[in-house]
Structure 1
Amino acid sequence: MGIYAIRLPDIGEGVAEAELTEWHVKPGDVVREDDVLAAVMTDKAAIEVPSSVSGTVVDLGGEIGDMIAVGAVLIRLEVEGEGNETAAATASKPAEAPKVEEAAAAPQKPEPKPAARPAAKPAPAPSVARAKGTRPLASPSVRARAREEGIDLRHVPGSGPAGRISHADLDGFIASGGIQQGGVTRGRNTGIEEIRVVGMRRRIAEKMALSKSHIPHITIIEEVDVTSLEELRGALNKKYKDSRPKLTVLPFLMRAIVEAVREQPDLNARYDDEAGVIQRYGGVHIGIATQTPAGLNVPVIHHAEAGSLWDNAAEVSALAEAARDGSISREALAGGTITITSLGPLGAIATTPIINYPEVAIVGVNKMAVRPVWDGQQFQPRKMMNLSCSFDHRVIDGWDAAVFVQKLKTLLETPAMLFVEG
């Protein structure tokens, strides 16, 4: 028998390390070649690491949330034959290379002392039966404290003369979890759960913090009448229901963005703030913020300007599904130049979306609702939807941001203009 060390493989694209986000095995497990051992995450995507040999797990190379360098030992297996490490080297590993914090702490670690016993609280005497409606005996200070704690003194057993309730009786009652509110016993939940922020959630946190700390946001919220757009969308879906993908609002909004940035190319851009360079793009690469079980992903529809409504609708659907089931490629998550974010039917009246750094603009779609709109003579029921658009104020002035939003509003309220060439 021998020891075989499996190292974190070269993931490519200049990646030097990856975060360990999930173990699929534990010491003692028997694995076969090609079984998935662990999942790691880079800045681009989550990657599963398979086993290159069959054997029994003897040692894991890190804990969830650790950063593992490319080439570092990820896991050790006991295998038939010689393996690629000596058993002696493996056995001495913990002594030779302990974690820095453990090595520093080990010589100074004191012997554990027995925990001091808390002072015993006086046990309340058996409850004195009180006639229904009888007012419990207690001092004003005890009553005041009971009110603050939400305790009904009628349910607290008193240890004093004639069942008088003392502060010690309150202490014992609270310690037993028997707080009474409205006649229903409610115990205090004092538990605290610590959840380590790892994987996709940590990437999202870092990206959001980077965006808010670097980008001075300006947000414009505009009301859009989408009654005509919804009528057109419904008619197209009915006509092509058996031959083409179903259209949502997104492909129409994507077409509107393509038209709007043609007149304002600074909005279809990325800002390299370290180099002080704005990179304008000819192609419109629209990211679609997508909620997945692992967290927020932003798959990108590349060259949205070249696709039809149905082309873009099909690609949005395919990328969203791939993002949710974890099969999306790293290329599909990179290269966006402007982003759309939407909470769908859960959306609010208005939002303040955070820009997908280093882009300079993001378009937020809020929920649609029928609202009364004054047409000059009377109120009419219209389908209304608010757009919430945020901009990088270092690159986009308020006037230009407003012009962009008004262009989107005009195109969505008059959807025939989306199909006019020129």
Structure 2
Amino acid sequence: MKVPDIGSSDVPVIEILVKVGDTIAKDQSLITLESDKATMEVPAPFAGVVKEIKVKVGDELSEGSLIALVEAAGGAPAAAPAQAAAPTRVEAPKVEEKPAPIATPRGVLPGNAPEGDVAPTARPPFDAGIVMPGDAPYASPAIRAFARELGVDIRQVKGSGRGGRIQREDVTGYVKHALASGARPAGAPVAAGGGLNLLPWPKVDFAKFGAIEEKPLSRIQKISGANLARNWAMIPHVTQHEDADITELEAFRKKLGEENKDLKITPLVFQIKAVVAALKKFPQFNASLDETGEKLILKKYFHIGIAVDTPDGLVVPVIRDCDKKGLLDLAIELGEISKKARDKKLGPNEMSGGCFSISSLGGIGGTAFTPIVNAPEVAILGVSKAATKPVWNGKEFAPRLMLPLSLSYDHRVIDGALAARFASYLAQQLGDIRRLLL
């Protein structure tokens, strides 16, 4: 059994879910992989008995990597090539045999090896210098891009992976050390946070005050923490607050739910449709700054990221082409993608390409908050718990169900007046669902 197409390479194994001797069913999970964006379980392509496991926790796997040897149910390996009768022997033309080229140490040209040296028969140890000669840092393109985002000169980072390969944790560790020491990371612009002259992080022996327990952060929490710290430090956040009257919307939603009892229709699907309408009205919100910060990329598609709370931390899967889907379609897809997020089965493609994100705390509580913009997006909508309030209708105070909205935006791209108009228009869409049909 091998790793299928998972959309990325060098993904570490964080959990092995089977052991030698186990009888496994088709589609049963074998191992858990955790990439930079998601955790995913690799299913068995056929049923059988595990004879040998070829991976261990910490190994980095890509498409085609061998996971395990499994005797397929029925005694024959699944998808094994048929054992046909031995073909008729055909004499191949004689070719003059030449000795295979012998690997020589770096800096020694073939033919110039000292006399008496014998080529080793054992496999030489892995040397990153062969793959990346000279002083070039040994890191994947994704890690190089991550280092550039943080403003880190990757040549200054020491790799902890096999053969000195630079891992994501090496880059974040370098930045943390630089910030703690009050120094600016080599090559980093002031905007990266190194020029803030921050005090070192306090070192406290908490045990002297009472009993403590140490609990390591999950990989998702570590990755999210680094991204959130970068976004908060590099994006000038402003948050616009608005209330939407969803009295009629909620009545319609409940009626729709009664007509579709097998489908959970949440207020979030209406919010998605309202956000799409607002993005069409104000295209500057459906945009991203390029890496230079000098160009604005306006998008013609409408992919909405939805923050999902999982036991391992917050993930943001993306629902694509929301402008082309109705409320019921969105309700079905939202339920499916939320379940996949909680079951750790999201793929990298389901976590990328978002234009705008929604973080809803309506099922928990709160009256307002400041969500952090999910770079490279330029805005995010926070939704708190709706509450019935007395609202003046021109003649009297009437009870209305009011939904608090918190719109955080990148002030480099969006000014306060535009944000106020966007939030007001969004509240109008939610206040009269007939507008969503226009």
CA shift, 1:40, in A, is 2.6
Task: Tell me which amino acid in the other structure corresponds to 2:260.
Answer: K
- Counterpart of 1:372? 390
Give me the whole-angstrom Cα distance separating, in 2, the residues matched to 1:391 and 1:100.
Answer: 37
Does residue 46 of structure 1 match 2:31?
Answer: no
Give me the whole-angstrom Cα distance separating, in 1, the residues matched to 2:277 and 2:42.
Answer: 43
Looking at secondary structure, tell me which structure has more strand per residue. 1
Query: Larger radius of gyration, structure 1 or 2?
Result: 1
User: For the Cα contact (< 8 Å) 1:21–1:199, is it kept in 2?
Assistant: no
Give me the whole-angstrom Cα distance separating, in 1, the residues matched to 2:51 and 2:331.
Answer: 47
- Counterpart of 1:171? none
SS of corresponding position for 1:376: coil
Does residue 351 of structure 1 match 2:344?
Answer: no
Matched residues, number: 303
- Counterpart of 1:310? 328
Match of 2:357 among 330, 339, 361: 339
- Counterpart of 1:147? none
Q: 1:51 and 1:263, CA in 2 relative to 1: closer, same or farther beyond 3 A?
A: closer
Does residue 203 of structure 1 match 2:203?
Answer: no
CA shift, 1:298, in A, is 1.3
Show CA shifts across 1:267-308 (max 9, x none): 112333346432222121111111122321212111100111
Match of 1:241 among 260, 279, 286: 260
SS of corresponding position for 1:283: coil
User: For the Cα contact (< 8 Å) 1:32–1:55, is it kept in 2?
Assistant: no
Give me the whole-angstrom Cα distance separating, in 2, the residues matched to 1:380 and 1:12.
Answer: 54
CA shift, 1:236, in A, is 3.1
Match of 1:18 among 11, 20, 37: 11
CA shift, 1:75, in A, is 9.2
What's the TM-score, normalizing by structure 2? 0.59
Give me the whole-angstrom Cα distance separating, in 2, the residues matched to 1:31 and 1:233.
Answer: 47
Give me the whole-angstrom Cα distance separating, in 2, the residues matched to 1:344 and 1:23.
Answer: 36
- Counterpart of 1:226? 246
Task: Tell me which amino acid in the other structure corresponds to 1:335.
Answer: G
User: For the Cα contact (< 8 Å) 2:6–2:348, is it kept in 1?
Assistant: no
User: For the Cα contact (< 8 Å) 1:355–1:391, is it kept in 2?
Assistant: yes
SS of corresponding position for 1:247: coil
SS of corresponding position for 1:346: coil
Q: 1:417 and 1:50, CA in 2 relative to 1: closer, same or farther beyond 3 A?
A: closer
How does 1:391-402 map onto structure 2 within 5 Å? Answer: 391-402=409-420
- Counterpart of 2:273? 255
Q: Which deviates further from its counterpart, 386-395 or 225-234?
A: 225-234
Task: Tell me which amino acid in the other structure corresponds to 1:241.
Answer: N
CA shift, 1:326, in A, is 2.2
Give unmatched runs, 5+ long, in structure 2: 70-121, 127-158, 162-207
CA shift, 1:265, in A, is 0.9
CA shift, 1:36, in A, is 6.0
Give unmatched runs, 5+ long, in structure 1: 1-5, 78-88, 94-98, 102-187
User: For the Cα contact (< 8 Å) 2:13–2:56, is it kept in 1?
Assistant: no
What's the TM-score, normalizing by structure 1? 0.61
User: For the Cα contact (< 8 Å) 1:289–1:341, is it kept in 2?
Assistant: yes
Show CA shifts across 1:319-367 (max 9, x none): 1122112233332222111111111321200011111221111111110
Match of 2:289 among 246, 256, 271: 271
Give me the whole-angstrom Cα distance separating, in 1, the residues matched to 2:68 and 2:326.
Answer: 52
Q: 1:36 and 1:373, CA in 2 relative to 1: closer, same or farther beyond 3 A?
A: closer
Task: Tell me which amino acid in the other structure corresponds to 2:433.
Answer: P
Determine what percentage of the aligned residue pairs are the same residue: 35
Task: Tell me which amino acid in the other structure corresponds to 1:224.
Answer: A
User: For the Cα contact (< 8 Å) 1:20–1:199, is it kept in 2?
Assistant: no
User: For the Cα contact (< 8 Å) 1:298–1:333, is it kept in 2?
Assistant: yes
CA shift, 1:201, in A, is 1.9
Task: Tell me which amino acid in the other structure corresponds to 1:39.
Answer: T
- Counterpart of 2:305? 287
Show CA shifts across 1:220-249 (max 9, x none): 1112221122222233333x235x734322
Give me the whole-angstrom Cα distance separating, in 2, the residues matched to 1:211 and 1:296.
Answer: 15
Task: Tell me which amino acid in the other structure corresponds to 2:252.
Answer: L
Q: 1:32 and 1:348, CA in 2 relative to 1: closer, same or farther beyond 3 A?
A: same
CA shift, 1:55, in A, is 4.7
Give me the whole-angstrom Cα distance separating, in 1, the residues matched to 2:254 and 2:160.
Answer: 63
Q: 1:25 and 1:416, CA in 2 relative to 1: closer, same or farther beyond 3 A?
A: closer
CA shift, 1:41, in A, is 1.2
SS of corresponding position for 1:236: helix
- Counterpart of 2:319? 301
SS of corresponding position for 1:367: coil
Give me the whole-angstrom Cα distance separating, in 2, the residues matched to 1:36 and 1:231.
Answer: 42
Task: Tell me which amino acid in the other structure corresponds to 2:34.
Answer: M
CA shift, 1:200, in A, is 1.8
Give me the whole-angstrom Cα distance separating, in 1, the residues matched to 2:217 and 2:240.
Answer: 32
CA shift, 1:12, in A, is 5.8
Task: Tell me which amino acid in the other structure corresponds to 1:199.
Answer: R
Give me the whole-angstrom Cα distance separating, in 1, the residues matched to 2:211 and 2:33.
Answer: 31
Give me the whole-angstrom Cα distance separating, in 1, the residues matched to 2:427 and 2:43.
Answer: 50
Q: 1:12 and 1:250, CA in 2 relative to 1: closer, same or farther beyond 3 A?
A: closer
Task: Tell me which amino acid in the other structure corresponds to 2:382.
Answer: G
Task: Tell me which amino acid in the other structure corresponds to 1:293.
Answer: P
Give me the whole-angstrom Cα distance separating, in 2, the residues matched to 1:12 and 1:345.
Answer: 33
User: For the Cα contact (< 8 Å) 2:386–2:404, is it kept in 1?
Assistant: yes
Give me the whole-angstrom Cα distance separating, in 1, the residues matched to 2:52 and 2:435.
Answer: 65
Show CA shifts across 1:46-95 (max 9, x none): 244689995567x9856xxx584769x99999xxxxxxxxxxx99x99xx
How does 1:103-182 map onto structure 2 within 5 Å? Answer: none
